[in-house]
Amino acid sequence: MSLDLAAAARVAEAAADRARAEILPRFRRVATERKSDGSPVTEADRAAERAIRETLREARPNWGILGEEYGEEGPGDGPVWVVDPIDGTIAFSRGIPLFGTIVALLEDGEPVLGLIDLPTLDERYVGFRSGGCRRNGEPVRVSDASDLQSAVVSHGDPFCFALAGQRDAFLRMAREIPILRGYTDVFGHAQVLGGSVDAMVDLSLSPWDAAATQVLVPEAGGACITRRDPQGKLGLVFGSPPLVEQLADFLSA
């Protein structure tokens, strides 16, 4: 039986609404801790993921959930929700309003639905397989730029290029792309979906960082190349198809 993705999208939106209610009152009012891997986490991350999980579990009790803060729960042999309550915790924890919530749905391990919510900007991107991509209900499309010399290209943190063994690729991008900007994390991903940024390279990602973008970009008319680095992390090159093709050549095999 095929999934009702429109209904699933409504569930994801309800979960994102719950997350906003936990995140926004804590913005610039919450202490930051360090996880065992050294990455930051706040009570807002944890509270938002608990709220998201509760909403998803109530609506689809037979589906699995994989989240950044609380791991896996439920069956893994059917549809699985993938959740990042605050993508861009460094920005959030420092009072920078460029962070977001990610909810995606996997079917047979492949992303079929994605939601990116930017609470401080009151912008939400939602899309699913064969359903297009919308920002606050209005269709959006990626850029059709083809010239790297005039394109706005974004990248994730440079240390993530190093972790992925692609430091030379970043240095080449810095040399050869005039308008190279570090709109990191899911904020950068969202700017590509709306065409404000023409393309992006983001490396050393976990599944919850990548899953929504992997489905939203094609639904917005763009190209999205997924790579896997030697550590098993994911790398994405996405945006305008001509630029994605050129940027992919910057990365070593």
* Whole-structure pTM value: 0.95
**Amino acid identity at 115:** L
Quick one: pLDDT at residue 53? 98
Go through the domains of the chain in sequence order and give each one's CATH number. 5-139 (3.30.540.10), 152-248 (3.40.190.80)
CB-count burial class (<10 Å; 0-12, 13-18, 19+) for 26: middle
CA distances to 9, 56, 147, 173 from 85, rounded to whole Å, are 16, 13, 35, 30
> Residue-wise pLDDT tens for the chain (253 aa)?
589 999 999 999 999 999 999 999 999 998 888 888 878 889 999 999 999 999 999 999 999 999 999 999 988 789 999 999 999 999 999 999 999 999 999 999 999 999 999 999 999 999 999 999 999 999 999 999 999 999 999 999 999 999 999 999 999 999 999 999 999 999 999 999 999 999 999 999 999 999 999 999 999 999 999 999 999 999 999 999 999 999 999 998 7
How far apart, in whole angstroms, are the C-alpha atoms of residue 59 and residue 119?
Answer: 23
Task: Tell whether the torsion through CA atoms of 191, 146, 242 and 149 is positive or negative.
Answer: negative
The pLDDT of residue 2? 83
Nearest residue to 27 (alpha-carbon basis) of 121, 157, 162, 139: 121
Asked if residues 148 and 243 have their Cβ atoms less than 8 Å apart, the reply is yes
Phi, psi of 68 (to 5 degrees): -65, -40
The pLDDT value recorded for residue 35 is 82
What is the H or E stretch that residue 212 is in? helix 207-219
Q: What is the pLDDT of residue 197?
A: 98
Query: How many residues are recorded in the chain?
Result: 253
CB-based contact 173:160 (threshold 8 Å): no
Strand order in the sheet with 223-228: 179-181, 152-155, 199-205, 234-239, 223-228
